[in-house]
A and B are shown apart, each in its own frame.
Chain A
Amino acid sequence: MVLRVSDAHKSYGGTPALQGASWSVQRGEWLALLGPNGAGKTTSVRAVAGRVRLDRGSVELLGRDLQGPGAADARRKLGVVPQNLAVYPDLTARENLLAFGQHNGLTGRPLHTRVDWALEWTGLADRAGELVQGYSGGMQRRLNLACGVLHEPEVILLDEPTVGVDPQSRERIWEMLAGLQRDGASLVLTTHQLDEAQSVCDRIVIIDHGRDIASGTLAELIRDTVGPARTVRLTLDRPPDDPDRLAGVTCEGRTVHSTLDNVADELQDLLARVAASGATVADLHVEAPTLHAVFLHLTGRELRE
């Protein structure tokens, strides 16, 4: 366990933000920390980053307490990549990297070596001497990321690292993060991009009302919430002549919906029943349960703000 948040409590002026949230990250793991707006995930992450002092509970990084004395020293193993483009627009990429590298304790040759690495890693080496304010959004995002990992942290907090960038830049950023994980870093990702979290993360923690309400791999969450059944949607060439043949299946005009626990075994029977009804299948979609479905199942469809 490289990072552990236990029984975290925090209130702002009597309004609770965290009410006992607990979660942890294994070494080399990529964890998604998900939740609706105001659920408490940002407060959790800020507590880890040292920007929020908990009313109760603890935060441990590599076995060291992050809420007590000596936390600043312990936090050197932590990298923070904020959602804001927290770089200086009137500095060049190299100058930004040098500044944040020094803020995080790098000096001398190691600093310059890491800055050169970061410029290559982000694909900004050719434009390292240009002011950041002239960069595209994707380039600024990559620089923002590099400034947080320059000092080779063992645990990296990522707050919406791909927000506001085009698909190509997004793809590049995920590749960069996957590379960090391969090199041994543990990642904590907070995002509202559930499809991306589903595809890149090893494990998921869902927080709501200041508490962790579910955690596990995607398969575990699906099993424990919406179940593994697939949704099959058929589009017919015409409405069925004999709808009675499709009893137990939702049929609306030319569209048929059904939930199948075992697609391999049950799909053939469904198609036979459609044929018997006098219609022909024009199109067929099989949908696996998604993180999106799990998320809505756990947190509801009510607007939070």
Chain B
Amino acid sequence: MMRTILWVNWLRLKRDRVALGLTFVLPIIFFSIFAMIFGGMGRGGGSGPGPARRTRVAVVDEDRTDISRRMIQALAAQESLEIRTRALQIEGQPPAEPYTVEEARQLVRTQTRYPVAVVIPEGFGDSFANFAAPGEPITLLYDTANPIAYQMVAGLLQAAAMQAAPDILLERGVGTLEAFGGLLTDAQKGVIDRLKTMLVPTPGTNGPDGNGDDESIFGGVTGLVRVDTVDVRADEAGGDEQGPQRSLVAYYAAGIGVMFLLFSMTGAGGSLLDEEERGTLDRVLSSDISMTRLLLGNWIFFAVVGMLQIGIMFVWGAAVFGLALWQPNQLSGSILMTVVTALSASAFGIVLATLCTSRAQLGGLSTIIILIMSALGGSMVPRFVMPAFMDTTARFTFNGWALDGYLKVFWYNDPDAGVLRSLAALAPEVGVLLAMTVVFLLAARAFARRWETA
């Protein structure tokens, strides 16, 4: 009896490819995706399938001393940082001017790739390692959109300070010691001088032992240089101490919103399969309604439902979690993105429904596709913690484009730009999502031929 039950269940499973995929393939795919994400982070990308994301940092050197230059070199030597002191030189053009503080602030505020800028103030070199009379602190300009990057850079600044000028640290440390504890003897001074000679960084080396991989040792040192952190959005309307939390709300409102929109749209698209099973589809197609009109009618209806779904979620986010929805730029941008995203997601739901032959098949297939796209596109895990190559994979997902658009609206919106300029910045995402809509609708129309005249 038991053998028969097992045999029958096996036969049913092996003939249901979707169930087979859900049982065996989906766990492997998901494991692989998360392994890529977190494996890439943990090992610095060295043994992962691609390099880890390097955080691009704009550096403004107002000090322009040997110590500040050595500080910048030490930062540039950190594997996880990509240091830019000026815009890239365009071929045939003279080199760009070094960044000013305001330019660095704009970069952080409006460009995803620059989550942090470092400003080395004038007088930094003179007060470096002067523990008795510390000077101006280094300023770290950061975007709350990426809550990880600035903390990492703050730690690496301490490591860089140690690596940049250990000889000066020693000299000024001894000076402080003499000021408070009395002068050294000649023999003691001789030892200190020999030690300083050994500590002067030589070209091609990054630190005291010439090994650039000592981030972990020096990253833990704090207080060697003073660092002030400044939220570049703090002066924006609505900006307050809740900035970081609010930004993550924006991220997840967009990320989760897009993912669940896809789920609800494929669920809605499944009503076509219900109609087929019930016989009402046949009956409707026997009347005046053509297949094209039937699909378009469903597409528009589902899209309106989707717009309401996201709209209600954003309003809730604004009311309860302080999502910055009601600023003109954000409001107009979120309306545009919601309309376009819902139109596209509705078409996606319909194309899957026309592709599948049963509700069960649709449920299985849509779950696989949506979860994969959500994982790759950033709906589940923020893309800034993923390895760099996953930015490219996100470009192949619906979620990736929709999320990029929403992030432009809620994160990277330049408050000084007008509504029209803010909307124009969404052109790539809107264009791609509309193109996807057209492709989905054409594919749905082609797949729906099976419901037409046999």
Contacts and interface: CB of A to CB of B under 8 A. Distances in A.
A89 B286 CA distance: 19
Nearest to A43: B454
Nearest to A75: B286
Interface residues of A, number: 24
A287 B289 CA distance: 50
A283 to B, nearest CB: 47
A49 interface: yes
Interface string B275-309: 00011101111111110000000000000000000
B288 A86 contact: no
Contact of B288 (A46, A80, A104): A104
A103 interface: yes
Contacts of B285: 50-51
A103 B453 contact: no
Contacts, number: 51
A210 to B, nearest CB: 15
A12 B288 CA distance: 26
Contacts of A49: 286
Interface in A5-22: 12
A163 to B, nearest CB: 13
Interface in B436-454: 453-454
B278 A84 contact: yes
Contact of A82 (B282, B289, B290, B453): B282
A86 B282 contact: yes
A53 B454 contact: yes
A86 B279 contact: yes
Contacts of B284: 103
Interface in A43-58: 46, 49-53
A87 B286 contact: no
B453 A50 contact: yes
Chain B interface size band reads 10 to 19
A105 interface: yes
B30 to A, nearest CB: 35
Contacts of A103: 283-284, 287-289
Interface string B414-429: 0000000000000000
B195 to A, nearest CB: 85
A89 B278 CA distance: 9
Nearest to A73: B288
A198 to B, nearest CB: 28
Given A50-B453, A53-B453, A53-B454, A147 B283 contact: yes
A116 to B, nearest CB: 20
Interface in A198-247: none
Nearest to B451: A51
B279 A84 contact: yes
A104 B453 contact: no
A51 B454 contact: yes
Given A51-B454, A52-B454, A53-B453, A87 B280 contact: yes
B292 to A, nearest CB: 12
A84 B281 CA distance: 11
Which of B279, B280, B287, B453: most chain A Cβ within 10 A?
A: B287
A150 to B, nearest CB: 10
Nearest to B288: A105
Nearest to A72: B288
Interface of B: 278-280, 282-290, 453-454
7 contacts: A46-B454, A51-B453, A51-B454, A82-B282, A82-B283, A88-B280, A89-B278
Given A51-B285, A103-B288, 6 more contacts: A86-B279, A87-B280, A88-B278, A88-B280, A103-B283, A105-B287
